[in-house]
Chain A
């Protein structure tokens, strides 16, 4: 089983609909992230959470919200989806940065969202 699991893997929705992408992890990491991947733009950070009570905006948070339900669960919501939110979305986790661990990101396999 994957350490970082994203659901759904593929979703087609219509403009104006609310959509939630879910992420769960078994790595025991405190830190979780949502990235968006678009061709020619690379990966851009939407939101990140360093623990259950910590939520931070990334580069492109407008139009998105997140919820950290537990250490292992981090969901991304689009309250009213629009076509330019069509993209591949990745959840990632990392361990705390200390003298032993680095902040290596461990990614899920992605959720492809199409907004018509």
Chain B
């Protein structure tokens, strides 16, 4: 049973476009929602994170939008670049900053030049 559902499974975007990846969760007790980025042949690495009392968090070209009532959150990558091509995982934890994460299924993003 997947407690965090992620879509789409794969995404192709042109350079300069906006990439949007969506996640939905079931457990309203989740208190921490990070996104991890994984390049081919590497392990995932923390990209950005948000807590449920904030509706949006922005770091450079990466923005998390959070909708607590809908139990959904999304990652937006503005001005997408070929170097952003990677697999992205959303995740959730019961504790703010907690390390016991439930991950989504992953989205493979390809940004064409």
Contact B99 A42 (CB under 8 A): no
Q: Which residues of A contact B100 (CB under 8 A)?
A: 45, 48, 103
Measured between C-beta atoms, what is the minimum distance from B63 to chain A in Å? 19
Among B2, B41, B46, B105, which residue has its beta carbon within 8 angstroms of that of A105?
Answer: B46
Interface size, chain A (Cβ < 8 Å)? 24
Q: Does B45 contact A (CB under 8 A)?
A: yes
Contact A104 B99 (CB under 8 A): yes
Measured between C-beta atoms, what is the minimum distance from B5 to chain A in Å? 10
Dominant SS at the A interface?
A: strand
Contact A109 B99 (CB under 8 A): no
> Chain B interface: which size bin?
20 to 34
Measured between C-beta atoms, what is the minimum distance from B64 to chain A in Å? 15
Measured between C-beta atoms, what is the minimum distance from A50 to chain B in Å? 9
Among A102, A103, A105, which residue has its beta carbon within 8 angstroms of that of B44?
Answer: A105
Which of A40, A97, A103 has the most C-beta atoms of chain B within 10 angstroms of its own C-beta? Answer: A103
For the complex of A and B, the 9 pairs showing the least CB-CB separation, nearest first, are A107-B43, A103-B99, A102-B97, A94-B99, A42-B103, A43-B103, A42-B105, A104-B46, A103-B98
Interface residues of A (CB under 8 A from B): 4, 31, 33, 40-45, 48, 90, 92, 94, 97, 101-110
